[in-house]
């Protein structure tokens, strides 16, 4: 299962954190520090996997954002990459050409989407449509949001 | 990129001002967070950010405490608070408001409240108790969204103790009409299963219902739980194999709704989950594996698309194929698949290819040969992860021939690595292979030097410990030991002369100990020189006090002569006043010893022989002092483990030691007696794998093309006759096959590697290839191990029952390969001893049933050695009913023995004219071996002579006088021996030879052997509890171990002790609650006492005896008895 999922910027600023197991605050800080420094130090054309303590770290960069998960030993690294990819797809579907600012200004929405996608460190729902429906139904009463998402910015998918 | 952000950020203010202009409630919420974010991005220093956030938090605090704040405003405040926390600033005053928001808010506000709770608090936070009621209410809500939120938060974090409160509600949700609710409920239960498995034990049947849910999503969710449960006890769920196979078939066949597709691959997550489950179910189980061969094959076939997700499935499929019972056809396909990974230009796939290869070479090292070129490329890869994984792979294929190159590569990596975790891991691996395959002493010492220097003070404590034990216990040859120690001394003296300041503390400790202990071996090295070098260490700034005490101990062993004494005096002057009590004590000791040569020679005897010093570790000489103290009202002593248990029962702080430092025990020369460190090296678990998996892997070579020869990189290739090679590999055969380069096989084009690579390849892959099939039978055994530990070392170091197979191997000592025979022998013999009395009692004379049936005897047949002049053996002679073989020997039993408990008469060896059989008779104080020599020919046998060659462990005395020199046709001669085990040993081989002459024939001889076990020589020791207590204190040698408890609902302790009594003759002295004491003795020898205590699900056993080897050997039989139970 997954132990945590972190989103951070190229400058090492944390954008989203999700912990699937109980971890002490100090330990969380250490993980975040280690992840940002390790992942940001990776050279281009390196593989997307790292080891950290007994965990497998899988990370991927989408535009200016790094998505990073800590997997337990038996997990499949390639599948981890696809978990990240599907999450980005879900964000993209919700925000429409998602960019880092969408996530900064609407981070709570990013959390809600994540909660529909993952649960207890495991995949809960892989279908884009079903996640969208679930989010929609709980958003129902939500105000039609301001023009935040119309800002012109580099899309996460715009990068190779 | 950053300028893009810049641009966007400059565009922000106008957008944000737009928001603030509108002034409506909706937009202001965005703008407040927006202005906070904007404010932060505009700042230039961390300090300013801090100030801004502090201001923000003050504002938030004011707002939340104001009674006028509405829930809607609270929601917006909460989002800002979450943001501040994400930036690393504490906003703990908002936690309670998050809970309130979840409690009182409308659906949307509640959602933010729950989000805040799940981000702010964790499982053990006390505020969480306030949430329980809210969750309870929401779980019962008619609003689906509220139920969903409650289930989500429950799976994120919920206090363990409160699970029972909500469990029934969550359970009910398993029957909810909406599949999304059912799915979330299953995942919530999965989470409960993870954190408190016993709380959900009673609802296993409901999991099964979830598995059969009509919605595939719910079924998928239930697989998470099943994976866990199957991992714990695969046997219970074997019946589900068929269902899992069917599900996987349907998934692959595209029977699921399109919703489940991911990039047009059907439900990849589900596929992988199922593959993982199947691998667990099929592991070591042929019949279950057979059910899944087809679907695995199809899975491999279907996953063709060139997409990451299909590779993920393939990777999992390969792992499954190599985990379950092998099928050559599938293995072949899997190997091909791994090849695609390894050769892929995509770096992620290459990485996984290496991982897969690492996984499979444990079963067949030859698979690495096909990818030599890639492996060598990866070894120089710029990505450290790839490099690291390659080293892992090389570690698995290390053998005696390539060890130097591989270790060199590993050390090279270590010099660059700055990651502690991988350094610790790799250092352990280097130490492991160095010890296992070291080609010579010099290399070994050099390598260990590198290990100690690079490993620093973070490496596992057992590396220096086992290194020192290796040096001190020695190996097979005295000359070698001396050589190795000399080498170490020389090398350390050189290191100290250079620059000791850069050496890690652990290494300095090792150096001090070795120099103290062995520098006298080097004649031209003055003790003063060494002492001076050591004294320099004391002066170094960074030397820790622990190291200093090692140094002082070394000096105690060295201080000889006036020159030394002066130097030592200086040192003592400095440290007798040290604030560190240990140092001060050491310095005092040193001072006394250096001044009193006579005392020193008595205390610091130089151990030239390997005989361990007798150390009274029970400190019995202090008994008087203790009883005085007790009389004066002192509390009785409790051993550390007991204290610890009591403490842990009281839920106090854990007093588990963080590491073991052994300066005192090592230096006081009680090597044999000290408690071995129980820290298992992380890597050592791996090392046992190849040998354990050895048996089923022999077949796996089938159909695998062997492309590379044992010399490594070969230009030509040949197809090897698989079966023949695997069955009877011989160096001759393989080399001749390599010579036949004219094989008509097509040559796959290989890139021309440069000379350097070619050399590296042949260095790395030497020793793999054809003759490696031998290694597959048991990799560790086949390769001659340079530093084979003495049995003693292993016996005391094996820390757990799981490792019993390892320790039993080493305990057997003399013949590792024979160990496969033991279980069957062992199972049969004790049973027979019990059974036979009835038979002999009812019928003292010849009883046809008495003759062992062929089936039974088969187990008893011991390795037969053909005699010198003996005619060729006829196979299965004793099963041939036509021959008057093995006549009723029991009638020949000496009269005084009839009616006594004895084992079956087992044939030992036979030829055309003579047959030898044996049985054993156990009485209270003797153990008798009766040998029957029966003449099966018609003519007389002359000059009959039976000789037993006894090993050191056994004392054999012949009880039958005047054994006949001649034996008439079909006559039987009976020999009676009394056996006593002098030195305890798990088992001994009693060998012998019978020589005789046939009339008109050459002298002939037949050899035979009979195996005896320690269990034969163990007798109960009837003592009272008081006597036991006295004896316990006076014994010096002890061993502790955890044993498996026999599962018994009523009383596992009694059940376990009974199981032991079944196999061994023991006297259970007393059972008090969870503790039991047991006593036994070696026949005509010393006693052994056992104290055992039920602790968690195991039996903590503590054995004590005056004899060094007895506890270890007994433990070995205890483990075996319990395993067979």
Local structure of A69: helix, strand or coil = strand
Quote the pTM value. 0.61
Backbone angles phi, psi at B240, to 5 degrees: -85, -10
> Are A126 and B262 a contacting pair at CB < 8 A?
yes
Please report the DSSP string for A134-147 in residue order.
Answer: HHHHHHTTSPPP-G
Q: What is the largest CA-CA distance in chain B?
A: 127
A19 at interface of B, judged by CB pairs closer than 8 A: yes
Alpha helices, DSSP H, located in B43-158: 46-65, 71-86, 95-104, 107-120, 132-139, 144-156
Residue of chain A whose alpha carbon sits nearest to that of B124: A22
Residue B364 has pLDDT above 90, yes or no: no
Nearest beta carbon to residue B86 from set A14, A43, A153: A14
Confidence bin at A126 (pLDDT 50/70/90): confident
Q: How much is the ipTM here?
A: 0.89
pLDDT tens-digit profile of B522-577? 888 888 888 888 888 888 888 888 899 899 888 888 877 777 878 888 888 888 88
pLDDT tens-digit profile of A76-105? 999 999 999 999 999 999 998 888 888 988
Residue B1081 has pLDDT above 50, yes or no: yes
Confidence bin at B648 (pLDDT 50/70/90): low
Q: Which of A143-157, B297-311, B321-335, B1108-1122 has the lowest mean pLDDT?
A: A143-157
> Are A154 and B1 a contacting pair at CB < 8 A?
yes
- Is the distance from CB of B738 to CB of B711 less than 8 angstroms? yes
pLDDT score recorded for residue B30: 53
The CA distance from B603 to B599, in Å, is 6
Closest CA to B983 of B669, B676, B611: B611
Residue of chain A whose alpha carbon sits nearest to that of B75: A108
List CB contacts of B908: < 8 A, sequence separation 6 or more. B862, B916, B917, B918, B931, B1008, B1009, B1010
Say which residue, B31 or B579, is predicted with more confidence: B579
List CB contacts of B235: < 8 A, sequence separation 6 or more. none
Backbone angles phi, psi at B267, to 5 degrees: 30, 65
pLDDT tens-digit profile of B87-110? 888 888 999 999 999 998 888 889
- Is the distance from CB of B981 to CB of B988 less than 8 angstroms? yes
Angle between helices B286-302 and B308-323 (to 10 degrees): 160
List the single best residue of A16, A47, A60, A135 to mutate versus B (max B Cβ within 10 A).
A47
B482: its two tokens: 């001396």
The mean pLDDT of B718-737, rounded to a whole number, is: 39
The mean pLDDT of B136-158, rounded to a whole number, is: 90
Beta-bridge partners for A55? A52
Residue B455 has pLDDT above 80, yes or no: yes
> Which residue in the block uniquely carries the two structure tokens 């910015």?
A153
A125 at interface of B, judged by CB pairs closer than 8 A: yes
Confidence bin at B752 (pLDDT 50/70/90): low
- In angstroms, the separation between the Cα of residue B191 and the nearest Cα of chain A is 6
Residue B923 has pLDDT above 70, yes or no: yes
The CA distance from A151 to B784, in Å, is 71
List the single best residue of A31, A120, A142 to mutate versus B (max B Cβ within 10 A).
A120
Residue B12 has pLDDT above 60, yes or no: no
Query: Which chain B residues touch A29 with a CB distance below 8 Å?
Result: 88
Q: What is the average pLDDT score of chain B?
A: 75
A50 at interface of B, judged by CB pairs closer than 8 A: yes
List the single best residue of B8, B106, B125 to mutate versus A (max A Cβ within 10 A).
B8
pLDDT score recorded for residue A156: 55
A151 at interface of B, judged by CB pairs closer than 8 A: yes
Residue of chain A whose alpha carbon sits nearest to that of B33: A105
pLDDT score recorded for residue A39: 94
Query: Which chain A residues touch B269 with a CB distance below 8 Å?
Result: 79, 123, 126
Question: What radius of gyration, in Å, describes the C-alpha atoms of chain A?
Answer: 15
Indicate if the alpha-carbon torsion angle B320, B325, B330, B335 is positive or negative: positive
Nearest beta carbon to residue A138 from set B145, B309, B383: B145
- Is the distance from CB of B1020 to CB of B1079 less than 8 angstroms? yes
Percent of chain B whose predicted confidence (pLDDT) is above 90? 18
Backbone angles phi, psi at A2, to 5 degrees: -85, 145
Residue B467 has pLDDT above 80, yes or no: yes
Query: Which chain B residues touch A82 with a CB distance below 8 Å?
Result: 262, 268, 308-309, 312
- In angstroms, the separation between the Cα of residue B247 and the nearest Cα of chain A is 18
pLDDT score recorded for residue B742: 41
pLDDT score recorded for residue B888: 66
């Amino acid at each position: 299962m997954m132990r945590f999922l972190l989103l951070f910027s190229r400058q090492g600023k944390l954008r989203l954190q999700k912990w699937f197991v109980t971890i002490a605050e100090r330990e969380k800080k250490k993980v975040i520090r280690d992840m940002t420094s390790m992942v940001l130090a990776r050279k281009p054309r390196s593989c997307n996997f790292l080891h950290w303590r007994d965990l497998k770290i899988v990370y991927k960069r989408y535009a200016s954002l790094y998505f990073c998960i800590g997997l337990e030993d038996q997990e499949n690294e390639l599948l981890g990459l696809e978990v990240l990819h599907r999450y980005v797809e879900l964000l993209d579907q919700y925000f429409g050409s998602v960019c880092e600012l969408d996530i900064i200004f609407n981070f709570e929405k990013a959390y809600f989407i994540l909660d529909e996608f993952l649960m207890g460190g495991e995949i809960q729902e892989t279908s884009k449509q079903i996640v969208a429906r679930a989010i929609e139904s709980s958003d129902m009463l939500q105000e039609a949001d301001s023009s935040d998402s119309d800002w012109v910015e580099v899309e996460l998918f715009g990068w190779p | 990129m950053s300028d893009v952000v810049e641009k966007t950020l400059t565009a922000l203010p106008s957008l944000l001002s737009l928001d603030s202009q509108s002034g409506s409630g909706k937009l202001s919420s965005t703008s407040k967070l927006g202005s906070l974010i904007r404010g932060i991005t505009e700042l230039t220093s961390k300090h300013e950010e801090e100030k801004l956030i502090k201001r923000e938090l003050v504002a938030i605090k004011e707002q939340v405490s104001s009674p006028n704040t509405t829930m809607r405003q609270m929601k917006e405040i909460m989002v800002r608070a979450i943001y501040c926390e994400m930036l690393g600033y504490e906003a703990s005053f908002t936690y309670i408001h998050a809970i309130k928001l979840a409690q009182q808010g409308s659906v949307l506000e509640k959602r933010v409240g729950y989000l805040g709770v799940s981000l702010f608090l964790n499982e053990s936070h006390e505020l969480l108790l306030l949430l329980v009621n809210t969750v309870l209410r929401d779980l019962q809500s008619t609003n689906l969204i509220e139920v969903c939120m409650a289930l989500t938060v429950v799976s994120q974090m919920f206090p363990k103790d409160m699970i029972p409160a909500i469990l029934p509600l969550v359970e009910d949700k398993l029957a909810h009409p909406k599949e999304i609710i059912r799915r979330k409920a299953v995942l919530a239960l999965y989470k409960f299963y993870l954190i408190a498995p016993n709380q959900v034990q009673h609802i296993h049947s409901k999991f099964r219902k979830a598995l059969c849910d009509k919605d595939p999503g719910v079924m998928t969710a239930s697989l998470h739980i099943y994976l866990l449960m199957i991992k714990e006890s695969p046997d219970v769920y074997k019946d589900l194999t068929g269902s899992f196979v069917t599900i996987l078939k349907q998934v692959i066949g595209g029977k699921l709704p399109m919703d489940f597709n991911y990039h047009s691959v059907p439900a990849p997550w589900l596929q992988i989950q199922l593959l993982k489950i199947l691998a667990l179910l099929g592991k070591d189980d042929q019949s279950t594996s057979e059910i899944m061969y087809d679907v695995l094959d199809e899975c491999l076939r279907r996953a063709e698309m060139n997409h990451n997700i299909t590779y993920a499935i393939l990777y999992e499929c390969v792992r499954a194929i190599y985990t379950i019972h092998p099928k050559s056809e599938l293995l072949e396909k899997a190997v091909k698949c791994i090849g695609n990974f390894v050769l892929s230009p995509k770096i992620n796939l290459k990485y996984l290819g290496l991982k897969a290869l690492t996984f499979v070479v444990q079963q067949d090292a030859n698979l690495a040969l096909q990818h030599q070129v890639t492996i060598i490329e990866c070894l120089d890869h710029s990505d450290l992860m790839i490099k690291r994984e390659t080293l892992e792979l090389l570690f698995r294929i290390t053998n005696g021939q390539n060890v130097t190159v591989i270790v060199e590569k590993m050390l090279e990596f270590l010099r660059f690595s700055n990651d502690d975790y991988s350094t610790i891991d790799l250092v352990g691996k280097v130490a492991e292979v160095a010890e296992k395959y070291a080609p010579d002493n010099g290399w070994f010492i050099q390598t260990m030097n590198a290990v100690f220097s690079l490993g620093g003070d973070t490496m596992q404590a057992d590396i220096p410990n086992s290194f020192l034990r290796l040096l001190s216990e020695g190996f097979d040859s005295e000359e070698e030991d001396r050589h190795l120690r000399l080498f170490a001394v020389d090398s350390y003296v050189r290191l100290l002369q250079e620059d000791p300041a850069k050496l890690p503390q652990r290494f300095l400790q090792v150096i001090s100990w070795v120099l103290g202990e062995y520098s006298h071996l080097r004649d031209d090295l003055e003790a003063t020189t060494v002492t001076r070098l050591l004294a320099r260490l004391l002066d170094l700034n960074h030397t820790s006090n622990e190291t200093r005490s090692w140094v002082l101990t070394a000096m105690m062993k060295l201080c000889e002569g006036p020159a030394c004494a002066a130097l030592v005096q200086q040192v003592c002057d400095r440290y007798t006043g040290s604030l560190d009590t240990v140092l001060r004590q050491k310095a005092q000791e040193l001072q006394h010893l250096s001044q009193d040569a006579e005392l020193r020679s008595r205390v610091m005897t130089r151990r030239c022989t390997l005989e361990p010093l007798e150390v009274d570790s029970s400190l019995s000489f202090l008994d008087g002092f203790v009883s005085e103290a007790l009389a004066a009202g002192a509390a009785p002593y409790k051993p550390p483990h007991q204290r610890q248990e009591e403490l842990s029962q009281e839920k106090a702080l854990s007093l588990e030691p963080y590491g073991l430092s052994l300066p005192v025990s090592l230096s006081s020369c009680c090597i044999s007696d000290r408690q071995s460190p129980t820290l298992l090296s992380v890597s050592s678990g791996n090392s046992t794998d190849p040998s354990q998996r050895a048996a089923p892997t022999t077949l796996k070579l089938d159909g695998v093309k062997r492309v590379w020869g044992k010399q490594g990189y070969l230009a030509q290739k040949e197809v090897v006759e698989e079966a023949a090679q695997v069955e009877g590999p011989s160096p001759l055969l393989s080399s001749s096959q390599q010579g036949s380069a004219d094989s008509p096989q097509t040559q796959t084009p290989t890139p021309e590697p440069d000379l350097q690579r070619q050399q590296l390849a042949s260095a790395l892959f030497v020793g793999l290839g054809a003759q490696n099939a031998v290694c597959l039978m048991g990799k560790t055994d086949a390769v001659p191990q340079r530093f084979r530990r003495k049995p003693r070392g292993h016996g005391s170091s094996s820390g757990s029952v799981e490792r019993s197979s390892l320790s039993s191997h080493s305990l057997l000592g003399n013949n590792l390969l024979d160990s496969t025979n033991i279980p069957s022998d062992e199972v049969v013999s004790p049973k027979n001893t019990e059974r036979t009395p009835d038979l002999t009692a009812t019928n003292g004379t010849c009883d046809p049933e008495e003759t062992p049936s062929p089936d039974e005897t088969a187990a008893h047949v011991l390795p037969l050695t053909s005699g010198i002049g003996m005619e060729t053996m006829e196979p299965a002679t004793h099963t041939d009913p036509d021959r008057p073989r093995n006549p009723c020997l029991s009638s020949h039993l000496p009269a005084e023995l009839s009616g006594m408990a004895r084992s079956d008469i087992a044939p030992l060896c036979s030829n055309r004219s003579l047959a030898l059989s044996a049985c054993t008779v156990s009485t209270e104080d003797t153990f008798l071996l009766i040998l029957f020599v029966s003449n099966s020919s018609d003519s007389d046998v002359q000059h009959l002579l039976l000789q037993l060659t006894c090993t050191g462990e056994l004392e054999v005395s012949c009880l039958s006088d005047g054994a006949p020199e001649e034996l008439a046709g079909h006559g039987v001669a009976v020999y009676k021996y009394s056996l006593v085990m002098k030195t305890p040993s798990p088992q001994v081989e009693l060998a012998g030879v019978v020589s005789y002459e046939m009339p008109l024939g050459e002298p002939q001889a037949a050899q035979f052997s009979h195996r005896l076990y320690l269990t034969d020589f163990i007798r109960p020791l009837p003592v009272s509890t008081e006597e036991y207590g006295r004896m316990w204190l006076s014994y010096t040698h002890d061993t502790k171990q955890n044993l498996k408890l026999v599962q018994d609902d009523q009383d596992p302790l009694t059940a376990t002790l009974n199981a032991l009594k079944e196999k061994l003759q023991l006297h259970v002295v007393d059972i008090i609650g969870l503790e039991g004491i047991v006593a036994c003795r070696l026949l005509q020898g010393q006693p052994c006492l056992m104290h055992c205590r039920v602790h968690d699900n195991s039996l903590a056993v503590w054995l004590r005896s005056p004899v060094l080897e007895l506890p270890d050997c007994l433990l070995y039989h205890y483990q075996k008895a319990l395993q067979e139970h």
